[in-house]
Each structure stands twice: as C-alpha cells, then as structure tokens.
Amino acid sequence: MIALVSAGVVTFYSYNLLSLILEHRAAQGRRHVRFRDLATDILGPKLSYGLVYPMQFVVCLGAVISIVLVGGISAKVVYKVYYPDGDLQLYQFVVFFGAATMIMGQLPSFHSLRYVNLLSLLMCLTYSFTITGACIQLGYSDRAPPRDYSLPGSEKQQAFAAFNALALIATAYGNSIIPETQATLAPPVEGKMFKGLAMAYSVIVVTFLPVAIAGYWTFGNLSAPSVFTNFQTADGTLLVSKWLIVMPSSMCVIQLISAAIIYSQPTFDLFERKIADVDKDRFTARNGIPRVIVRVVFLALVTLIAAMFPFFGDVNAIVGSFGFTPLDFVFPMVFYILVFKPPKRSIKFWGNLIIIIVYSLVGLAGAVAAVRQLILDTSYYKLFADV
C-alpha cells in the first residue's frame, strides 16, 4: 500500500509539473503537443533522440502489447466459462483481439476517440466495481481458496520479486502522453489540466485500488496477473456466479480496445508524419492508403509479439522499468529544474533531485529484475504458450 500510494502521489505531482512546463513554454511562444518535442526543446536533439524517443517507443509498444495480451486473456476467460474443455488456445484469442484493434485503429485521431473513451470509462468503472464485489463475496463464502500471504522463494528471489513489483506498480500510473492530452484542451488551458488529472486519479483510486486490495485479500500470493483467471480453477470449476465472470470480462475486452488505440496514437503519428503528404487531405487515397497499411502492420506486429510471449506481468515490468519509470518519475523533475532553475538551496530543487535519484535507482533495479524474470519465463515456457 505504501508503494502504491507513494507512486500515485509522485506521478500526480510529476504530471502537474509537466503541465506547468507546457504552459510556460507556450507563453514563450514555444507550444508543444508531443512529449518528445518538449524533450527536444529542453534537452536538445541528441539526448532527446538518444533517450526519450526510444523510451517513449518502448512505452507505447510495450503498453499495446500488454493490452492486446490481456484482451486475449479476458476473451479466453469468457470462452472457458461456456466451453471448459474447448480446444482454442490463448494465442488464438490474442489474434482475435488484435484483429479488432486493427479495425478500430483506423480512427484518425485522439479527438475521434472521444465517444469510445467515454464508453471505455463506463466499462472500466463497471467491471472494476463488479470484480471487487466478486472478490469480497468469494472471500466470505465457503468456496474461498486457502489464503497464503507469505513471500515464496529465497531471500534473493524475494529481492528480485520486490524490484519487479516496483516496476509493475509504475505501469499502474504510467502515462507518457500528457502533452498529447493537454494539446486537445480548448484554450485557455490554465487550471484545466489539474482538474483533468484530479478526475483521472479519482477514477484510479475507485477502480485500481479496490481491485488490488480485494483481489489480494481473497487470493493471497496465488493472485494471477489477470484476476479474472482466479475465478475459475484448473479443472473448469467456477468459484463465483457465471455472470460475475462473463460480464466484467466482456467489458474489459471492450475497454482494452480503446486503450490499445490510445497508446498506439504516438507511434501512428511518428510514422505517418514521415509518409504523409501535408498538401493533401488526410482522407485522400494518397494519405489514406499508407495510413491504413502503417497501422495494420504495427498492430499486426504487436499482436504477433503478444501471442509469442504471453507473459503479461513480465511485459508490464519491462515497460515499467525501461519506459514509465524514467518518463514519468524522473524526466518531469529534470525538465522542471532545467526550465525554472529553482535555487540550489531551495526545497523545490532538493525535493525534485531526491525524487530523480530514488526513482532512477528503482528503475535500474527494476530493469534488472524484469529482464531476469522474462528470461526465466521464456526458458520455462515455449513460444505461443497457452498460459
């Protein structure tokens, strides 16, 4: 709980710093609508291209891989409820989900996703409350699984698991597209981003934390990366009512399609800016056909990777350590110090510097632990494993 809450406080603070920096630069006549452009302005092109660009690409690519994978997992959960002895495997559901994202991925911009995002929010709220209630109901029933809250493994394994967990927690609050989001606000933007962040974190508090707490209380150290799979035993026995599995799992699939498209937008933008003819409309054949090809190829590649390496926790930890931790816990504070230049004896300077140092070390340790865990899992399971 300390790690979850502290990560939430730090990222809420860092995103507000980013918003202030964006407003400050806009007032100077240097408005930025992309994180990488802001980084280039502050750090210079060499550091930006060498550090920020690869990290943001890792975040967007890794996040979409994770989303496609958990979308396939959720779809398989529904299938197993009705066909417990069915032959379809996880990679096939990943492909089905990937195909759906390829269709929805043709929506041209963030703005065109506004109604999809509203539906996504409603789905997220509903399935989170339902899952929390299902965990509590199961925890008090006579079908509750035996609870074990001990930490398995040797001290070395526990240490690696702890750092891996910190990398995972970073993904819970990770959002490296704050400038892209702020650019959609109608002017004047002053104060609007704070309200938007407050609303976003309110949603996180009422969805993510109850599921995390209730899920761990019910299943202990047997909690699966996707809590949906905990409601059904290996022999197909359902631990809760059928609708408590089917409804939230189906809603999760719908919500994840929207999330996949959102995190794909920066990558789409990166490639489409290179191939588009700016003198022609986006819906002409000259721009439309290349756009469709780029988006389909990217999402097909993501789907292939998700099907080959179906390790949701491992992928999330890689994204958290190599992407979200530096982009969301470190760079905003670095940007603030470089832009506003607070006095070196001030609390603002030392407070931001301490956050930079602490989370740089956490990110480094998390990267080592995440890579180690991925190597262990890939050596144990085969490609396209039905986990």
pLDDT at res. 216: 92
Report residue 250: phi and psi, to 5°: -65, -40
Burial (CB < 10 A; 0-12, 13-18, 19+), residue 107, is middle
Distance CA 78, CA 67 (A): 17
- Is a pLDDT exceeding 70 seen at residue 176? no
Q: Is the peptide bond before 146 cis (omega within 30 degrees of 0)?
A: no
Any idea where the domains of the chain sit in the sequence? Answer: 1-380
Question: Percent of the chain having pLDDT more than 70?
Answer: 97
User: Rounded to whole angstroms, how far apart are CA atoms 53 and 46?
Assistant: 10
Q: Quickly state the pLDDT bin for 135 (edges 50, 70, 90).
A: very high
**Top mean-pLDDT range of 111-120, 188-197, 211-220:** 211-220
Instruction: Tell me how far apart the alpha carbons of residues 328 and 177 are, in angstroms, rounded to a whole number.
Output: 10
- Least confident residue range of 22-26, 211-215, 383-387: 383-387
Tokens encoding 293: 């090809």
pLDDT tens sequence across 332-352: 999 999 999 999 989 999 999
| CA-closest candidate to residue 21, choices 42, 46, 44, 51 | 42
User: Rounded to whole angstroms, how far apart are CA atoms 33 and 183?
Assistant: 5
Output the six-digit token pair for 254: 């719908």
Interhelix angle for 90-104 vs 285-308, to 10°?
160
pLDDT at 313: 75
Homologous superfamily of 1-380? Amino acid/polyamine transporter I (1.20.1740.10)
Distance in angstroms (rounded) separating the CA atoms of residues 105 and 61? 14
Per-residue b/e over 21-43, b at no fewer than 16 CB within 10 Å? bbbebbeeeebbebbbbbbbbbb
